[in-house]
A and B are shown apart, each in its own frame.
Chain A
Amino acid sequence: MSKKLISGLFATLFLFLSAPISSAADIPLLTWERGKEQNIVLGGYAASGNWRIELVGLDTKPLTFHPSAVNNNGYLVYSVAVPKDFKLGSYTINVFGGASTKPSVVAGVNVIGMTTYAVTQVPADLKFLLLSLAFIVSIFAVIRARKYAIHSYPREITLIEDGSLVHDERFPRSLYKAYQIRTNSISGLKPSPFKFFVGRDSRFLHFISPVLWTVFPGVALVLGLAAGFATHNRIPNIPIYFLAGLAVVGLADSYSGVFGAFGFAAAQIMLGNVTSLRAVLILIAFGIGWTLPGLFGDLLHLMSQRDFNGKGDDRFGKGITQILLVASALFVGVFFYFAQILADSLSVGIRTHFNYLMAISAGVCLLYLVKHFLVSYFERKLLSSGNSTYERFEISGLASPITTTVFALWTFAVAYVWSQSWTTAAIMALVIASPVAALLVRLSKPEIKRLARWKRNVYFELLIVLTLSAGIYLYIGKLPLLVARKSEIMLAIGMVPVLLHALLASLYDVTGLRNMYLDSNTGEDVVK
């Protein structure tokens, strides 16, 4: 009897002891990766209450979820972007609101490090990428205006042109062939903006030394190979010294930057790390970062100078010139950073040296300024020597059908890797490629005379496009949808302002052809 009594007492004791454990087991336990946006869906009577939801942990400032708008069924989505440096560990989701003043713990969360990168789950990165793309593509829509069409630059007469290559004792005989190859590789290209700006950019090394100009692509190729082998299968984590080295090489000479990218790609292919479209796109993204920042910086600088031409050589005019130069340098740094984030967005690996990337981007910005001042110095010296000639280029057609097709395919592939949705990828490729495709032709109608009053200004137009795009992203961010779905919508319609701007630019082009002429003194389009 006594044994039964004791057994009964123990059973009762364990029943009460197990009650709190049962209570804790009632809430779900989630596993979330930091660095991504996380969502909570509230349904039922959620719209009627003023709910506040927080991710709460020990020794950590709580993260507050932001509510979306309410959908037709009364559901709304609470979202929070868990920072990349958020403290790992256990957290609870506390809900405040309703009749109770105390929070309700509705779930436990184990926050872990990011295991795979998916740009559709990191809206901040996605917005940055799309805004950068909008900026770059919109430049193409602006540049078709007549006042930006004609460009020229002074350059040294090459050693081949003046026949001094084989007579100059300072130039090693072993490099004759290499010098000829490089000279011909550029001059052999069809006239295009790319050829013009690469040639303009390569003056810097030729000013310093024709020998350096000759061997630099080879140096870049070796450096790229070394970087590719050193990186092995840890993309996007290229060793920091190689990343910085290739960035400097590409900024000093874009032509050599291409060879650096080739070397890196060759090494990666030989190592067997490039077996998918995703990997090819990553290589292209890195190649963009090592090749194009300086070229696009020069393009933007030349265009903005046209906008503010005629401000005079007084103090105000010089101040404007300096501001435009600094703005272009900032753009170069951001462009390099964009290329790296683009590579990150295509990779499933996680970048670990993020702070170094910021420092390198800032360094690229400063190096562009230094390069510009040195080129200006060499230009003045060249013009006084008389050993110069002018390269002139008129932008009649910005893009060839092949260029447009490649760009559309690249956009499609990137959007597919991001969204893994054929439809989304097709829409985004169509929207982004359209402005570039518009550069293929010059329309003859419809003619809207009112557009003739439009004073073209690259920065002003880009600002409007970016503001509209940002407004659209803000609106999409408030939709009661999960982050992946919102990202898909952003990819599909986020570039619509770019498309509208390109259409307007084409119509302006029609009007300008018939009703305007270029004032040779001011460089401005003038209404007839």
Chain B
Amino acid sequence: MKKFSFFLIILLLTRIGTSFADTTTSSQAQIQNFFLGNSVSNNGNLNQVLALLVGPQGKPGVAGVAGKDGFIGLNGKDGINGLDGAPGAVGPQGPAGVAGEQGPAGPGVAVVLVSSGDTSCPAGGTKFVTADGKSSYACNGLAGSGGSGPAGPAGASVVSTEIPIGGTPDKLGEKHCLLGGSKFEVNGTITYACNGAGGGGGGGGPSEGIQSVAACTGSLASDAIKIVPTGHFSSGDKDFILTAVTLQNVDIRCRTFNQTEIDLVMDSHNPLPSGTNNYDSGDSIVCQITNAPTLGLDPKTSLTIDLFGEGTTCKIYKAAAPNTPLPGSDKYFSRDLVSIGISFHQ
């Protein structure tokens, strides 16, 4: 190994000496070449160092001119409908209503003394007649019969005093019979017969014999009348068409009425895919049918009113002219139906 190393060193020095002895280069370059070789190419144009001098911060510039407004953009597409909201909670019970005003003073009560022999008071008495002609009596007692006992003591005398409107005060100062009346005093016991206050106006009576739906409801609460609208889908209109209304659980008592009438309160969603209807929002559709004999049938059968069937007459009553019936429409859309009222007629 030593010999080999020695050989290599000799060989190496020969090569280096040959290079060092090159006279074509300067002595300084020769020394440089001895250490670093002559293949070093220091290209001064590579890997330059960039020097940047940062100046002081300048003053802020003047405000620039505002640019023109841009064009207004196109409207965006409508968003999809939101989900239905959850049902609201049941509200608290409302406060009690205020007390009604006092009614007007009623008419006076006529007090008529009835002598004996009157049909209503054979022993006589007092008759009170109200303004509407109704009469009431305070009769004297009839003489007993068949009595064998000793004669009773003399009856207490009754002192009757008419009380004018405004009342009369008692011993404690409390006024009685502000609307007037009569005062009866028997052995110190005072009884008042006061005039009543005037009654309120009475409701209109069943002049046409209309019976309420409640009256047609069966005896059980579960037998309440059910109203079931019936319709079908129209591919031409792309919507549901109302064709009939079925009433279930109609009591026999109402089936005996001559006519059944339904009152459809409608909305309107014009324009329609095909044509138009003849009713507008708020109009009523009143349809009548003549009830068929129902004797012998189940008293709780259903009753179907075909809007376009024979025997059914439908009229339109405009909201603006509720007393003028107009011909019915060709179509009634289910989604236009707001409410249904029913009634029965003699």
Residues of A within 8 A of B (CB): 28, 30-33, 36, 38-46, 48-49, 51, 93, 95, 98-99, 106-107, 112, 115-116, 121, 185, 258-259, 262, 265-266, 269-270, 272, 274-280, 348, 413, 416-417, 420, 482
Contact = CB atoms under 8 A, between A and B. Distances in A.
Q: Is the interface of A mostly helix, strand, loop or mixed?
A: mixed
Contacts of B57: 45, 98-99
A493 to B, nearest CB: 23
A421 to B, nearest CB: 12
B49 A41 contact: yes
Nearest to B17: A275
B34 interface: yes
A410 to B, nearest CB: 13
Contacts of A107: 50
Contacts of B11: 266, 269-270
A93 B5 CA distance: 53
B43 A276 contact: no
A277 B38 CA distance: 11
Interface residues of B, number: 35
A274 to B, nearest CB: 6
B47 A275 contact: no
A500 B21 CA distance: 44
Interface in B1-54: 1, 4-5, 8, 11-12, 15-16, 18-19, 33-43, 45-54
A482 B33 CA distance: 26
Given A45-B57, A185-B1, A278 B52 contact: no
Contact of A416 (B15, B35, B43): B35
B94 interface: no
A276 B50 contact: no
A44 B46 contact: no
B55 interface: yes
A49 B35 contact: no
Contacts of B48: 28, 30-32
Given A33-B47, A116-B40, A276-B36, A40 B15 contact: no
B35 A277 contact: yes
Contacts of A31: 45-48
B52 A276 contact: no
A107 to B, nearest CB: 5
Contact of B51 (A32, A36, A41, A279): A41
A84 to B, nearest CB: 15
Contacts of B12: 265, 269, 274, 280
26 contacts: A28-B50, A39-B50, A40-B49, A40-B51, A41-B49, A41-B51, A41-B52, A43-B52, A45-B57, A46-B53, A48-B54, A49-B54, A93-B50, A98-B57, A106-B52, A116-B41, A116-B43, A262-B4, A266-B11, A269-B15, A275-B18, A275-B38, A276-B38, A280-B12, A348-B37, A348-B39
Contacts of B46: 31-33, 112, 115
B52 A42 contact: yes
Contact of B15 (A28, A39, A272): A272
B56 interface: yes
B19 A275 contact: yes
Contacts of A348: 37, 39-41
A482 B50 CA distance: 11
Nearest to B58: A99
A244 to B, nearest CB: 24
Contacts of A275: 15-16, 18-19, 33, 37-38
A269 B18 CA distance: 12
Contact of B50 (A44, A106, A121): A106
A262 B47 contact: no
B50 to A, nearest CB: 5
A45 B50 contact: no
A258 B173 CA distance: 146
A119 B34 CA distance: 20
A106 B11 CA distance: 54
A43 B36 contact: no
Contacts of A269: 8, 11-12, 15
B55 A44 contact: yes
Contact of A45 (B34, B36, B47, B54): B54
B41 A95 contact: no
Given A32-B46, A115-B41, A280-B16, 7 more contacts: A39-B49, A43-B54, A107-B50, A115-B46, A262-B4, A266-B11, A275-B38
Given A276-B35, A276-B37, A278-B36, A38 B54 contact: no
Nearest to B45: A31
A258 B1 contact: yes
Contact of A265 (B8, B19, B34, B55): B8
B52 to A, nearest CB: 5
Contact of A276 (B8, B34, B42): B34
Given A41-B49, A115-B46, A348-B39, A276 B19 contact: yes
Contacts of A99: 57-58
Contacts of A262: 4-5, 8
A95 B48 CA distance: 18
Contact of A41 (B19, B34, B43, B50): B50
Nearest to B40: A348
A482 B49 contact: yes
A99 B58 CA distance: 9
Centre residue among A40, A115, A279, A482 by max chain B CB count within 10 A: A279
Contact of A417 (B35, B41, B50, B55): B35
Of B16, B40, B51, B54, chain A has the most CB atoms within 10 Å of the CB of B54
Contacts of A43: 51-54
B16 A30 contact: no
A36 B49 CA distance: 12
Q: Which 4 A-B pairs have the closest CB atoms?
A: A276-B37, A275-B19, A44-B53, A44-B54
Contacts of A259: 4
Contacts of A482: 49
A266 B15 CA distance: 11
A378 B12 CA distance: 41
Contacts of A416: 35
Contacts of A36: 47
Nearest to B42: A116
A102 to B, nearest CB: 14
A173 to B, nearest CB: 24
